[in-house]
Amino acid sequence: MVQLSTLAFCVEAKDSIQMYLQLLRRLLEKGNMVYIKQYKNSVQDEEEIDKEAFLLSADEILQDTIGSDKKVAVWLNYETIAKTYYGLNATHCGRWFRSGFEFLDRGRVFASSISITDLVEARKNAIEPYILQELEVPLDVDEEASFMLDEAFFEFFLRASGLTEKEEPLFKHAAFFPEGTWPVITEGNLVYHKDINQFSADFARLYADYYWGIYLYPALEEDMDIWNLTAEQKERLTNNHGRKPESIKDRYKRVRKYLSSRAHEIEDFMESISEDQMRELSQMPGSQMVDLLKQAVKEYPYIQSFDFGKRGMMFSGGPLYTLWPIYHRAAQIALGK
């Protein structure tokens, strides 16, 4: 089974219920609800919610999760344009579910455990995406199957996000990412920003995670100025119930012998670049950074760019490839390396 993992939306608490109900409505236009569960603090403590009861009291049930240690997940089947099926759960997550780590890793509104089963058989060796992402050269796969999988991936994102609908999107950022690789923003399969200046700011977020262990989601949500954080702000962003995350740098030191060449590329890049150079990259005008990323896309044909005009910009490697190569190449071009 191919795991496309998690599609997460960065949405403020005041808009999260409306965003979640919009997400459900869009998905159910091409799918059907299987069951609904409410979890308290962990996936072991669960309670099934009657579907009719949920539909009648969704606002009240979801409101109860905000700021709590609960989450609500609606499990459903979704039919793609390729006539294949995703089995997924759409989740509204409370701030302190799993001691807050689920929110820090995925945010308030996300869809996860997405899979496409029958297309896998058409793929050479049925290799898992997280392995494919680490290969130096894209895998030689069946062209038709690859096209169908990419189309299904993109169609799912467009439907779930509602970016082509009349309603103005409630989220400012969105990303598809394989389990275990986020919160490193450059390791997403897909990254969307409503404000294109945020593509430059991604370099500041990468620096903050690598050296300070700052969680990505709060940094996205608050649109904070990474370079001018106070000591108190850094403490708040790295301390969760007294537990501090490892920075990327510390994680790499601990598991270096297990790392792929792609992960080593990130470490080598971060160790070779100065804070001043990262500031320079992160403060470039968004239009200039997008041009550099588009220039990089020409060297990596399996990555695509999508311009939504006033609604923002997206880069996608489809379900199999992360965006690190184009961020890396854009930085090299900008710095003349």
224-245: average pLDDT: 78
**CA atoms of 92 and 208, how far apart (whole Å):** 27
221 residue type, one letter:
E
Residue-wise pLDDT tens digits, 166-214: 989 999 999 988 664 455 677 788 999 999 999 999 999 989 888 888 8
pTM, 2 dp: 0.85
DSSP per-residue letters across 237-270:
HH-BTTBPPPPHHHHHHHHGGG--HHHHHHHHHH
**CA atoms of 4 and 9, how far apart (whole Å):** 15
Rounded to 5°, the CA angle 161-166-169 comes to: 40
- Position 126 scores a pLDDT of 36
Burial of 244 (0-12, 13-18, 19+ CB in 10 A): exposed
Does residue 127 surpass a pLDDT of 60?
no
- Position 231 scores a pLDDT of 86
Does residue 123 surpass a pLDDT of 50?
no
96 within 8 A of 67, measured Cβ to Cβ: yes
**CA atoms of 315 and 25, how far apart (whole Å):** 25
- Start-to-end CA distance of the chain, whole Å, equals 40
What does pLDDT average to over the chain?
81
Check residues 93 and 79 and name the one with the higher pLDDT.
93
Q: In angstroms, what CA-CA distances link 199 with 117, 226, 271?
A: 33, 14, 21
Q: Enumerate residues 6+ apart whose C-beta is below 8 A from 63.
A: 17
Does residue 326 surpass a pLDDT of 90?
yes
- Position 52 scores a pLDDT of 92
Strands (E), 152-245: 173-177, 190-193
Residue-wise pLDDT tens digits, 24-60: 999 999 989 999 999 998 778 899 999 999 999 999 9
Strands (E), the chain: 2-10, 31-40, 42-49, 70-79, 85-93, 109-116, 173-177, 190-193, 304-307, 313-316
Check residues 33 and 250 and name the one with the higher pLDDT.
33
- Position 149 scores a pLDDT of 62
Q: Which two three-digit tokens encode residue 23?
A: 């997400």
- Position 99 scores a pLDDT of 86
Does residue 237 surpass a pLDDT of 60?
yes
133-144: average pLDDT: 43
Per-residue confidence band for 63, with pLDDT thresholds at 50, 70 and 90: very high
Q: Which two three-digit tokens encode residue 35?
A: 């069951």
114-128: average pLDDT: 40
pLDDT > 70: percent of the chain = 77
- Residue 134's H or E segment, with its range, is none
322 within 8 A of 186, measured Cβ to Cβ: yes
Does residue 152 surpass a pLDDT of 80?
no
Sort strands 31-40 and 42-49 into parallel, antiparallel or unpaired: antiparallel
Domain boundaries, the chain: 2-161, 196-300+315-335
Q: Which two three-digit tokens encode residue 1?
A: 């089974």
Helices and strands counted in the chain (H then E): 13, 10
Does residue 293 surpass a pLDDT of 70?
yes
Dihedral angle of Cα 37, 41, 43, 48, to the nearest 10 degrees: -20
Per-residue confidence band for 243, with pLDDT thresholds at 50, 70 and 90: low
- Position 186 scores a pLDDT of 79
3-state secondary structure of 29: coil
Q: How many residues does the structure list for the chain?
A: 337
Check residues 266 and 257 and name the one with the higher pLDDT.
266
217-246: average pLDDT: 77
Main-chain dihedrals φ then ψ at residue 33, nearest 5 degrees: -75, 130
- Position 129 scores a pLDDT of 43
